[in-house]
Structure 1
Amino acid sequence: MTARTAVVTGGTKGIGLAFSRRLARLGYRVVAVYRGDKASADELTAELPDRVEAVRADVSDPQEVATFAERVLAAYGAPHVLVNNAGRNIDGPFLTMGDDDWRQVLDTNLTGPFLLTRAFAPRMLELPDGASVVTVGATTAIRPRLNGVNYCASKAGLLHLTKCLALELAPHVRVNCLIPGMIDTEEMRVRYRVADPTARADLLAEIPQRRIGSPEEIADALEFLVGDGARYITGQKLIVDGGQFMW
Protein backbone atom coordinates (compact mmCIF):
# COMPACT_ATOMS: atom_id res chain seq x y z
CA MET A 1 0.00 0.00 0.00
CA THR A 2 2.86 2.43 0.59
CA ALA A 3 3.33 2.95 -3.16
CA ARG A 4 -0.34 3.63 -3.86
CA THR A 5 -1.66 7.12 -4.52
CA ALA A 6 -5.13 8.58 -3.97
CA VAL A 7 -6.38 11.90 -5.34
CA VAL A 8 -9.20 13.63 -3.45
CA THR A 9 -10.72 16.81 -4.83
CA GLY A 10 -12.16 19.14 -2.23
CA GLY A 11 -9.96 17.13 0.10
CA THR A 12 -9.15 19.63 2.84
CA LYS A 13 -12.56 20.47 4.34
CA GLY A 14 -15.75 18.73 5.44
CA ILE A 15 -16.37 15.27 4.06
CA GLY A 16 -13.35 15.57 1.77
CA LEU A 17 -11.10 16.11 4.78
CA ALA A 18 -12.45 12.89 6.31
CA PHE A 19 -11.71 11.12 3.01
CA SER A 20 -8.12 12.38 2.93
CA ARG A 21 -7.48 11.35 6.52
CA ARG A 22 -9.01 7.91 6.04
CA LEU A 23 -7.09 7.13 2.87
CA ALA A 24 -3.85 8.28 4.50
CA ARG A 25 -4.52 5.97 7.45
CA LEU A 26 -5.10 3.13 4.99
CA GLY A 27 -1.59 3.68 3.67
CA TYR A 28 -2.25 5.73 0.56
CA ARG A 29 -0.17 8.72 -0.45
CA VAL A 30 -2.94 11.33 -0.69
CA VAL A 31 -2.99 14.34 -2.98
CA ALA A 32 -5.73 16.61 -1.61
CA VAL A 33 -6.96 19.23 -4.06
CA TYR A 34 -8.35 22.51 -2.78
CA ARG A 35 -9.38 25.77 -4.38
CA GLY A 36 -9.54 28.57 -1.82
CA ASP A 37 -8.91 27.89 1.86
CA LYS A 38 -5.14 27.57 2.23
CA ALA A 39 -5.37 27.54 6.02
CA SER A 40 -7.31 24.27 5.99
CA ALA A 41 -4.85 22.80 3.51
CA ASP A 42 -1.90 23.79 5.69
CA GLU A 43 -3.53 22.26 8.77
CA LEU A 44 -4.04 18.95 6.97
CA THR A 45 -0.48 18.73 5.67
CA ALA A 46 0.86 19.65 9.11
CA GLU A 47 -1.25 16.86 10.61
CA LEU A 48 -0.09 14.24 8.08
CA PRO A 49 3.14 15.62 6.57
CA ASP A 50 4.42 12.29 5.29
CA ARG A 51 1.13 11.09 3.85
CA VAL A 52 -0.70 14.11 2.38
CA GLU A 53 0.21 16.74 -0.16
CA ALA A 54 -2.26 19.60 -0.66
CA VAL A 55 -2.38 21.16 -4.13
CA ARG A 56 -4.37 24.20 -5.17
CA ALA A 57 -6.28 23.69 -8.43
CA ASP A 58 -9.62 24.69 -9.93
CA VAL A 59 -11.23 21.45 -11.08
CA SER A 60 -13.55 23.34 -13.43
CA ASP A 61 -10.62 24.71 -15.46
CA PRO A 62 -9.40 22.29 -18.16
CA GLN A 63 -5.89 23.73 -18.27
CA GLU A 64 -5.46 23.65 -14.48
CA VAL A 65 -6.69 20.06 -14.40
CA ALA A 66 -4.28 19.05 -17.14
CA THR A 67 -1.35 20.72 -15.37
CA PHE A 68 -2.32 19.15 -12.04
CA ALA A 69 -2.68 15.67 -13.56
CA GLU A 70 0.70 15.92 -15.26
CA ARG A 71 2.27 16.88 -11.94
CA VAL A 72 0.71 13.94 -10.10
CA LEU A 73 1.55 11.42 -12.81
CA ALA A 74 5.15 12.60 -12.98
CA ALA A 75 5.62 12.51 -9.21
CA TYR A 76 3.61 9.46 -8.17
CA GLY A 77 2.35 7.63 -11.24
CA ALA A 78 -1.28 6.71 -11.80
CA PRO A 79 -3.58 6.99 -8.79
CA HIS A 80 -5.21 3.79 -7.58
CA VAL A 81 -8.05 5.88 -6.16
CA LEU A 82 -9.66 9.05 -7.53
CA VAL A 83 -12.36 10.72 -5.43
CA ASN A 84 -14.30 13.41 -7.28
CA ASN A 85 -15.61 15.22 -4.23
CA ALA A 86 -15.25 18.95 -4.97
CA GLY A 87 -18.61 20.68 -5.23
CA ARG A 88 -20.23 24.09 -5.61
CA ASN A 89 -23.69 25.21 -4.52
CA ILE A 90 -25.23 28.55 -5.53
CA ASP A 91 -28.95 28.54 -4.82
CA GLY A 92 -31.52 30.73 -6.51
CA PRO A 93 -34.90 30.64 -8.26
CA PHE A 94 -34.80 29.34 -11.80
CA LEU A 95 -36.50 32.42 -13.26
CA THR A 96 -33.84 34.77 -11.93
CA MET A 97 -30.76 32.54 -12.10
CA GLY A 98 -27.92 34.11 -14.04
CA ASP A 99 -25.71 32.40 -16.58
CA ASP A 100 -22.69 32.58 -14.31
CA ASP A 101 -24.43 30.88 -11.37
CA TRP A 102 -25.51 28.08 -13.71
CA ARG A 103 -22.07 27.62 -15.25
CA GLN A 104 -20.06 27.75 -12.01
CA VAL A 105 -22.10 24.96 -10.43
CA LEU A 106 -22.22 22.75 -13.54
CA ASP A 107 -18.54 23.32 -14.30
CA THR A 108 -17.45 22.34 -10.77
CA ASN A 109 -19.88 19.52 -10.00
CA LEU A 110 -20.13 17.83 -13.40
CA THR A 111 -17.40 19.03 -15.73
CA GLY A 112 -14.77 18.77 -12.98
CA PRO A 113 -15.22 15.01 -12.47
CA PHE A 114 -15.24 14.53 -16.25
CA LEU A 115 -11.96 16.42 -16.62
CA LEU A 116 -10.20 14.72 -13.69
CA THR A 117 -11.27 11.23 -14.68
CA ARG A 118 -10.36 11.81 -18.31
CA ALA A 119 -6.92 13.04 -17.27
CA PHE A 120 -6.12 10.02 -15.09
CA ALA A 121 -8.10 7.13 -16.59
CA PRO A 122 -5.67 6.13 -19.38
CA ARG A 123 -2.90 5.56 -16.85
CA MET A 124 -5.25 4.02 -14.27
CA LEU A 125 -6.24 1.43 -16.88
CA GLU A 126 -2.61 0.34 -17.03
CA LEU A 127 -2.35 -0.47 -13.32
CA PRO A 128 -1.95 -4.24 -12.95
CA ASP A 129 -4.17 -4.49 -9.89
CA GLY A 130 -6.96 -2.17 -11.05
CA ALA A 131 -8.21 1.16 -9.74
CA SER A 132 -11.31 2.83 -8.35
CA VAL A 133 -13.08 6.11 -9.06
CA VAL A 134 -15.67 7.42 -6.61
CA THR A 135 -17.88 10.38 -7.44
CA VAL A 136 -19.61 12.13 -4.56
CA GLY A 137 -23.23 12.78 -5.44
CA ALA A 138 -26.25 14.12 -3.62
CA THR A 139 -29.79 12.99 -2.89
CA THR A 140 -30.95 15.89 -5.05
CA ALA A 141 -29.72 13.87 -8.04
CA ILE A 142 -32.85 11.78 -7.51
CA ARG A 143 -35.31 14.11 -5.78
CA PRO A 144 -35.21 17.81 -6.75
CA ARG A 145 -35.60 20.77 -4.43
CA LEU A 146 -36.69 24.36 -4.85
CA ASN A 147 -34.10 26.98 -5.86
CA GLY A 148 -31.53 24.35 -6.77
CA VAL A 149 -31.98 23.79 -10.50
CA ASN A 150 -28.26 24.14 -11.18
CA TYR A 151 -27.13 21.93 -8.29
CA CYS A 152 -29.79 19.26 -8.85
CA ALA A 153 -29.07 19.10 -12.57
CA SER A 154 -25.33 18.83 -11.95
CA LYS A 155 -25.72 15.97 -9.48
CA ALA A 156 -28.22 14.13 -11.69
CA GLY A 157 -25.72 14.41 -14.52
CA LEU A 158 -22.94 13.21 -12.24
CA LEU A 159 -24.90 10.08 -11.40
CA HIS A 160 -25.21 9.19 -15.09
CA LEU A 161 -21.62 10.20 -15.77
CA THR A 162 -20.68 7.64 -13.12
CA LYS A 163 -22.62 4.90 -14.89
CA CYS A 164 -21.23 5.76 -18.31
CA LEU A 165 -17.67 5.77 -16.98
CA ALA A 166 -18.29 2.44 -15.26
CA LEU A 167 -19.33 0.95 -18.59
CA GLU A 168 -16.42 2.35 -20.56
CA LEU A 169 -13.65 1.78 -18.02
CA ALA A 170 -14.67 -1.76 -17.00
CA PRO A 171 -13.38 -4.19 -16.08
CA HIS A 172 -10.15 -2.62 -14.91
CA VAL A 173 -11.40 0.59 -13.28
CA ARG A 174 -14.47 0.51 -11.08
CA VAL A 175 -16.60 3.68 -10.87
CA ASN A 176 -19.26 4.24 -8.21
CA CYS A 177 -21.24 7.14 -6.78
CA LEU A 178 -21.30 7.75 -3.01
CA ILE A 179 -24.32 9.80 -1.94
CA PRO A 180 -24.24 11.31 1.58
CA GLY A 181 -27.38 12.27 3.45
CA MET A 182 -27.43 14.79 6.29
CA ILE A 183 -23.82 14.88 7.43
CA ASP A 184 -22.39 17.09 10.17
CA THR A 185 -20.41 19.66 8.21
CA GLU A 186 -20.27 23.42 8.59
CA GLU A 187 -22.25 23.94 5.39
CA MET A 188 -25.00 21.55 6.49
CA ARG A 189 -25.26 23.14 9.95
CA VAL A 190 -25.74 26.58 8.42
CA ARG A 191 -28.06 25.52 5.57
CA TYR A 192 -30.43 23.56 7.80
CA ARG A 193 -30.14 25.81 10.88
CA VAL A 194 -29.16 22.89 13.07
CA ALA A 195 -28.46 25.18 16.03
CA ASP A 196 -32.16 26.05 16.17
CA PRO A 197 -33.90 23.37 18.29
CA THR A 198 -37.11 23.42 16.25
CA ALA A 199 -35.31 23.19 12.90
CA ARG A 200 -33.10 20.40 14.22
CA ALA A 201 -36.10 18.45 15.56
CA ASP A 202 -37.90 18.77 12.22
CA LEU A 203 -34.79 17.53 10.40
CA LEU A 204 -34.27 14.54 12.68
CA ALA A 205 -37.93 13.57 12.32
CA GLU A 206 -37.23 12.86 8.63
CA ILE A 207 -34.35 10.47 9.41
CA PRO A 208 -35.30 6.99 10.68
CA GLN A 209 -32.06 6.70 12.65
CA ARG A 210 -32.93 10.02 14.35
CA ARG A 211 -29.47 11.51 14.07
CA ILE A 212 -27.18 13.40 11.74
CA GLY A 213 -24.35 11.39 10.24
CA SER A 214 -20.66 12.10 10.68
CA PRO A 215 -18.03 12.66 7.97
CA GLU A 216 -16.24 9.59 9.33
CA GLU A 217 -19.28 7.45 8.50
CA ILE A 218 -19.08 8.62 4.89
CA ALA A 219 -15.37 7.80 4.97
CA ASP A 220 -16.36 4.29 6.13
CA ALA A 221 -18.43 3.95 2.96
CA LEU A 222 -15.56 5.27 0.84
CA GLU A 223 -13.20 2.74 2.43
CA PHE A 224 -15.60 -0.01 1.43
CA LEU A 225 -16.03 1.19 -2.15
CA VAL A 226 -12.31 1.45 -2.87
CA GLY A 227 -11.43 -1.78 -1.07
CA ASP A 228 -11.38 -5.41 -2.09
CA GLY A 229 -14.74 -5.99 -0.45
CA ALA A 230 -16.33 -4.00 -3.30
CA ARG A 231 -14.35 -5.60 -6.11
CA TYR A 232 -17.57 -6.80 -7.83
CA ILE A 233 -19.35 -3.45 -7.50
CA THR A 234 -19.29 -0.84 -10.27
CA GLY A 235 -21.73 1.65 -11.75
CA GLN A 236 -23.73 1.78 -8.53
CA LYS A 237 -24.95 4.47 -6.14
CA LEU A 238 -24.43 3.98 -2.41
CA ILE A 239 -26.72 6.21 -0.32
CA VAL A 240 -25.54 6.75 3.26
CA ASP A 241 -28.28 8.77 4.90
CA GLY A 242 -29.69 6.98 7.95
CA GLY A 243 -32.69 5.87 5.90
CA GLN A 244 -33.93 9.36 5.02
CA PHE A 245 -34.32 8.54 1.33
CA MET A 246 -35.10 4.89 0.61
CA TRP A 247 -34.53 4.78 -3.16
Structure 2
Amino acid sequence: MQERLAVVTGGTKGIGVSLSRRLMATGHRVVALYRSDQESADLAAKELGDGFTALRADVADADDVARVTGLVLADHGTPAVLVNNAGRNIDGPFLDMTVPDWDQVIAANLSGPFYMTRALAPAMLEAGGGSVINVAATTGIRPRLNGANYCASKAGLLHLTKCLALELAPAVRVNALIPGMIDTEEMRTRFRTDEPEHLDRLLAEIPQGRIGSPEEMADALEFLVGPKAAYITGQKFIVDGGQFMW
Protein backbone atom coordinates (compact mmCIF):
# COMPACT_ATOMS: atom_id res chain seq x y z
CA MET A 1 0.00 0.00 0.00
CA GLN A 2 1.04 3.57 -0.63
CA GLU A 3 0.92 5.13 2.82
CA ARG A 4 3.23 8.13 2.74
CA LEU A 5 1.80 11.34 1.34
CA ALA A 6 3.74 13.85 -0.76
CA VAL A 7 2.55 17.29 -1.83
CA VAL A 8 4.15 18.73 -4.96
CA THR A 9 3.40 22.27 -6.08
CA GLY A 10 3.58 22.71 -9.82
CA GLY A 11 3.46 18.93 -9.90
CA THR A 12 1.53 18.28 -13.10
CA LYS A 13 3.97 19.24 -15.88
CA GLY A 14 7.64 19.78 -16.68
CA ILE A 15 10.08 18.81 -13.96
CA GLY A 16 7.19 18.78 -11.48
CA VAL A 17 5.35 15.86 -13.05
CA SER A 18 8.60 13.87 -13.14
CA LEU A 19 8.97 14.49 -9.41
CA SER A 20 5.37 13.43 -8.82
CA ARG A 21 5.90 10.31 -10.93
CA ARG A 22 9.00 9.29 -8.99
CA LEU A 23 7.39 9.88 -5.61
CA MET A 24 4.56 7.57 -6.60
CA ALA A 25 7.04 4.96 -7.84
CA THR A 26 8.75 5.04 -4.43
CA GLY A 27 5.60 4.41 -2.43
CA HIS A 28 3.92 7.78 -1.98
CA ARG A 29 0.46 9.03 -2.62
CA VAL A 30 0.80 12.41 -4.33
CA VAL A 31 -1.26 15.56 -4.21
CA ALA A 32 -0.04 17.83 -7.00
CA LEU A 33 -1.04 21.48 -7.08
CA TYR A 34 -1.37 23.45 -10.31
CA ARG A 35 -2.39 27.03 -10.99
CA SER A 36 -4.03 27.14 -14.41
CA ASP A 37 -3.02 24.40 -16.87
CA GLN A 38 -6.02 22.10 -16.67
CA GLU A 39 -4.94 20.05 -19.69
CA SER A 40 -1.61 19.09 -18.12
CA ALA A 41 -3.33 18.29 -14.82
CA ASP A 42 -5.80 15.99 -16.61
CA LEU A 43 -3.00 14.25 -18.51
CA ALA A 44 -1.01 13.70 -15.32
CA ALA A 45 -4.05 12.33 -13.51
CA LYS A 46 -4.77 9.95 -16.40
CA GLU A 47 -1.17 8.72 -16.50
CA LEU A 48 -0.58 8.34 -12.77
CA GLY A 49 -4.00 6.99 -11.80
CA ASP A 50 -4.90 5.87 -8.30
CA GLY A 51 -2.94 7.53 -5.56
CA PHE A 52 -2.54 10.77 -7.53
CA THR A 53 -4.71 13.83 -6.98
CA ALA A 54 -4.41 17.14 -8.80
CA LEU A 55 -5.81 20.22 -7.06
CA ARG A 56 -6.01 23.73 -8.45
CA ALA A 57 -4.39 26.36 -6.23
CA ASP A 58 -2.33 29.52 -6.53
CA VAL A 59 0.63 29.24 -4.16
CA ALA A 60 1.23 32.99 -4.50
CA ASP A 61 -2.08 33.64 -2.72
CA ALA A 62 -1.88 33.07 1.06
CA ASP A 63 -5.64 32.60 1.36
CA ASP A 64 -5.72 30.03 -1.43
CA VAL A 65 -2.82 28.16 0.16
CA ALA A 66 -4.72 28.07 3.46
CA ARG A 67 -7.75 26.70 1.63
CA VAL A 68 -5.97 23.97 -0.31
CA THR A 69 -3.71 22.84 2.53
CA GLY A 70 -6.77 22.56 4.73
CA LEU A 71 -8.29 20.24 2.12
CA VAL A 72 -5.09 18.23 1.91
CA LEU A 73 -4.87 17.70 5.66
CA ALA A 74 -8.56 16.89 6.00
CA ASP A 75 -8.92 14.60 2.99
CA HIS A 76 -5.47 13.08 2.52
CA GLY A 77 -3.64 13.36 5.82
CA THR A 78 -0.27 14.77 6.86
CA PRO A 79 2.44 14.83 4.20
CA ALA A 80 5.78 13.18 4.79
CA VAL A 81 7.19 15.16 1.84
CA LEU A 82 6.54 18.68 0.61
CA VAL A 83 8.10 19.74 -2.69
CA ASN A 84 7.89 23.48 -3.36
CA ASN A 85 8.36 23.38 -7.12
CA ALA A 86 5.88 25.91 -8.51
CA GLY A 87 7.33 29.13 -9.83
CA ARG A 88 7.00 32.00 -12.29
CA ASN A 89 9.45 33.69 -14.61
CA ILE A 90 8.76 37.14 -16.10
CA ASP A 91 12.00 38.38 -17.65
CA GLY A 92 12.81 41.92 -18.63
CA PRO A 93 15.40 44.67 -18.18
CA PHE A 94 15.49 46.02 -14.65
CA LEU A 95 14.69 49.60 -15.66
CA ASP A 96 11.63 48.40 -17.59
CA MET A 97 10.40 45.99 -14.90
CA THR A 98 6.95 46.85 -13.61
CA VAL A 99 5.76 46.46 -10.04
CA PRO A 100 3.44 43.58 -11.06
CA ASP A 101 6.38 41.86 -12.81
CA TRP A 102 8.31 42.04 -9.55
CA ASP A 103 5.46 41.19 -7.21
CA GLN A 104 4.16 38.19 -9.16
CA VAL A 105 7.55 36.48 -9.40
CA ILE A 106 8.46 37.11 -5.76
CA ALA A 107 5.02 35.93 -4.64
CA ALA A 108 5.18 32.65 -6.55
CA ASN A 109 8.86 31.77 -6.07
CA LEU A 110 9.53 32.96 -2.53
CA SER A 111 6.26 33.65 -0.74
CA GLY A 112 4.68 30.47 -2.13
CA PRO A 113 7.17 28.12 -0.43
CA PHE A 114 6.83 30.19 2.76
CA TYR A 115 3.02 29.89 2.69
CA MET A 116 3.06 26.17 1.88
CA THR A 117 5.65 25.24 4.49
CA ARG A 118 4.05 27.41 7.16
CA ALA A 119 0.72 25.69 6.53
CA LEU A 120 1.97 22.08 6.52
CA ALA A 121 5.03 22.03 8.79
CA PRO A 122 3.08 22.02 12.07
CA ALA A 123 1.29 18.80 11.09
CA MET A 124 4.56 17.29 9.87
CA LEU A 125 6.22 18.10 13.18
CA GLU A 126 3.31 16.67 15.13
CA ALA A 127 3.49 13.49 13.05
CA GLY A 128 7.17 13.07 13.88
CA GLY A 129 8.95 14.62 10.91
CA GLY A 130 9.32 14.76 7.18
CA SER A 131 11.23 16.37 4.35
CA VAL A 132 10.76 19.70 2.58
CA ILE A 133 12.40 20.22 -0.80
CA ASN A 134 12.55 23.72 -2.28
CA VAL A 135 13.23 23.68 -6.01
CA ALA A 136 15.55 26.64 -6.48
CA ALA A 137 17.68 27.78 -9.44
CA THR A 138 21.32 28.36 -10.31
CA THR A 139 20.42 32.02 -10.87
CA GLY A 140 19.89 32.25 -7.13
CA ILE A 141 23.67 31.87 -6.88
CA ARG A 142 24.92 33.57 -10.05
CA PRO A 143 22.82 36.42 -11.48
CA ARG A 144 21.89 36.92 -15.12
CA LEU A 145 20.70 39.80 -17.25
CA ASN A 146 17.00 40.65 -17.40
CA GLY A 147 16.06 38.52 -14.41
CA ALA A 148 16.35 40.70 -11.30
CA ASN A 149 12.99 39.52 -9.97
CA TYR A 150 13.63 35.83 -10.65
CA CYS A 151 17.23 35.86 -9.39
CA ALA A 152 16.23 37.70 -6.21
CA SER A 153 13.37 35.30 -5.56
CA LYS A 154 15.54 32.21 -5.93
CA ALA A 155 18.37 33.70 -3.86
CA GLY A 156 15.82 34.37 -1.15
CA LEU A 157 14.55 30.82 -1.44
CA LEU A 158 18.04 29.45 -0.82
CA HIS A 159 18.32 31.44 2.40
CA LEU A 160 14.75 30.57 3.42
CA THR A 161 15.76 26.93 3.02
CA LYS A 162 18.57 27.38 5.53
CA CYS A 163 16.36 29.26 8.00
CA LEU A 164 13.68 26.58 7.85
CA ALA A 165 16.29 23.85 8.23
CA LEU A 166 17.40 25.51 11.47
CA GLU A 167 13.93 26.10 12.86
CA LEU A 168 12.28 22.81 11.89
CA ALA A 169 15.20 20.60 12.99
CA PRO A 170 15.64 17.91 13.98
CA ALA A 171 12.37 16.32 12.87
CA VAL A 172 11.84 18.03 9.51
CA ARG A 173 14.72 18.26 7.04
CA VAL A 174 14.74 21.13 4.51
CA ASN A 175 16.94 21.17 1.41
CA ALA A 176 17.16 23.01 -1.90
CA LEU A 177 17.17 21.03 -5.14
CA ILE A 178 18.70 23.11 -7.93
CA PRO A 179 18.31 22.17 -11.59
CA GLY A 180 20.77 23.16 -14.25
CA MET A 181 19.86 22.77 -17.91
CA ILE A 182 17.10 20.18 -17.82
CA ASP A 183 15.27 19.07 -20.95
CA THR A 184 11.79 20.55 -20.61
CA GLU A 185 9.54 22.31 -23.09
CA GLU A 186 10.20 25.62 -21.35
CA MET A 187 13.98 25.19 -21.59
CA ARG A 188 13.86 24.16 -25.25
CA THR A 189 11.81 27.25 -26.07
CA ARG A 190 13.74 29.67 -23.90
CA PHE A 191 17.22 28.59 -24.99
CA ARG A 192 16.27 27.60 -28.56
CA THR A 193 18.00 24.25 -28.23
CA ASP A 194 16.41 22.99 -31.44
CA GLU A 195 18.82 25.32 -33.27
CA PRO A 196 22.30 23.72 -33.47
CA GLU A 197 24.26 26.93 -32.93
CA HIS A 198 22.36 27.72 -29.73
CA LEU A 199 22.62 24.15 -28.47
CA ASP A 200 26.38 23.98 -29.17
CA ARG A 201 26.96 27.25 -27.32
CA LEU A 202 25.03 25.94 -24.34
CA LEU A 203 26.73 22.54 -24.26
CA ALA A 204 30.14 24.23 -24.30
CA GLU A 205 29.35 25.58 -20.80
CA ILE A 206 28.52 22.14 -19.36
CA PRO A 207 31.47 19.88 -18.48
CA GLN A 208 29.43 16.74 -19.09
CA GLY A 209 28.53 18.05 -22.53
CA ARG A 210 24.84 17.29 -22.44
CA ILE A 211 21.44 18.48 -21.25
CA GLY A 212 20.06 16.79 -18.16
CA SER A 213 16.77 14.91 -18.03
CA PRO A 214 13.79 15.41 -15.71
CA GLU A 215 14.38 11.84 -14.55
CA GLU A 216 17.80 12.89 -13.24
CA MET A 217 16.10 15.57 -11.18
CA ALA A 218 13.80 12.86 -9.87
CA ASP A 219 16.83 10.72 -8.98
CA ALA A 220 18.13 13.56 -6.81
CA LEU A 221 14.74 14.06 -5.21
CA GLU A 222 14.46 10.36 -4.42
CA PHE A 223 17.79 10.53 -2.60
CA LEU A 224 17.01 13.71 -0.68
CA VAL A 225 13.66 12.51 0.68
CA GLY A 226 14.91 9.00 1.41
CA PRO A 227 16.59 7.44 4.44
CA LYS A 228 20.09 7.68 2.93
CA ALA A 229 19.86 11.47 3.23
CA ALA A 230 18.83 11.36 6.90
CA TYR A 231 21.83 13.48 7.96
CA ILE A 232 21.42 16.09 5.23
CA THR A 233 19.56 19.34 5.86
CA GLY A 234 19.96 22.99 4.92
CA GLN A 235 21.94 22.11 1.80
CA LYS A 236 22.04 23.05 -1.90
CA PHE A 237 21.88 19.98 -4.15
CA ILE A 238 22.79 21.06 -7.69
CA VAL A 239 21.98 18.81 -10.66
CA ASP A 240 23.66 20.49 -13.61
CA GLY A 241 26.42 18.39 -15.17
CA GLY A 242 29.04 20.61 -13.52
CA GLN A 243 27.94 23.88 -15.11
CA PHE A 244 27.79 25.73 -11.76
CA MET A 245 30.31 24.44 -9.24
CA TRP A 246 29.19 26.19 -6.04
Tell me if structure 1 keeps the 8 A contact 2:13–2:44: no
Q: How far off its partner does 1:172 sit? A: 0.2
- How far residue 96 of structure 1 moved from its aligned partner, in angstroms, is 1.0
SS at match of 1:33: strand
* Residue in structure 2 matched with residue 237 of structure 1 by the alignment: 236
Question: Once the 2 structures are TM-superposed, how far is the Cα of residue 6 of structure 1 from its aligned partner?
Answer: 0.2
Tell me how far 1:76 sits from its aligned partner: 1.8
Is the contact made by 2:3 and 2:28 (CA closer than 8 Å) also made in structure 1?
yes
Q: Which amino acid aligns with 1:4?
A: R
CA distance in 1, matches of 2:190, 2:74: 40
> Deviations for 1:94-138, whole angstroms, at most 9, x for unmatched residues?
11100000000000000000000000000000123x200000000
Displacement of 1:80: 0.2
Task: List alignment gaps of at least 5 residues for structure 1.
Answer: none
Q: Secondary structure at the match of 2:87?
A: coil
Which residue does 2:140 correspond to in 1?
Answer: 141
2 CA distance for matches of 1:55 and 1:231? Answer: 30
1:23 to 2:23 alignment: yes
Q: TM-score, normalised by structure 1?
A: 0.98
1:228 CA drift (Å): 0.2
Amino acid paired to 2:151: C
The aligned residue for residue 208 of structure 1 is: 207
What SS class does the counterpart of residue 30 from structure 1 fall into?
strand
User: Which residue is 1:62 aligned to?
Assistant: 62
> How far apart, CA to CA, are the structure 1 residues paired with 2:157 and 2:134?
8
> Are the aligned partners of 2:109 and 2:153 in contact in 1 as well (CA < 8 Å)?
yes
Aligned counterparts of 1:48 and 1:153: Cα–Cα separation in 2: 34
The DSSP-based 3-state class of the residue aligned with 1:164 is helix
Alignment partner, residue 150 of structure 1: 149
| Corresponding position: 1:219 with 2:218 | yes
Structure 1 residue 27: Cα displacement: 1.2
1:129-208 aligned at under 5 Å gives the runs: 130-208=129-207
The code of the aligned residue for 2:125 comes to: L
Give runs of aligned pairs for residues 71-110 of structure 1, distance below 5 A: 71-110=71-110
2:93–2:147: 8 Å Cα contact kept in structure 1? yes
Contact 2:2 2:51 in 1 (8 A): no
TM-superposed deviation, 1:16: 0.2
SS in structure 2 of the partner of residue 126 of structure 1: helix
- By how many angstroms is 1:47 displaced? 1.2
Name the counterpart of 2:49: 49
Residue 4 of structure 1 and its aligned partner are, at CA, apart by: 1.0
Deviations 1:142-172 (CA, angstroms, capped at 9, x unpaired): 1000000000000000000000000000000
**Quick one: which amino acid aligns to residue 16 of structure 2?**
G
Deviation at 1:75, TM superposition (A): 1.1
User: RMSD value over aligned CA atoms?
Assistant: 0.7
The equivalences for 1:25-40 within 5 A come to 25-40=25-40
Q: Which whole-Å CA distance do the structure 2 matches of 1:44 and 1:190 have between them?
A: 22
Aligned residue in 1 for 2:127: 127
Structure 1 residue runs of 4 or more that deviate by more than 4 Å after TM superposition: none
What fraction of aligned residue pairs are identical, expressed as a percent?
70
- Structure 1, residues 151-203: CA drift from partner, whole Å, max 9, x if none? 00000000000000000000000000000000000110011110110010010
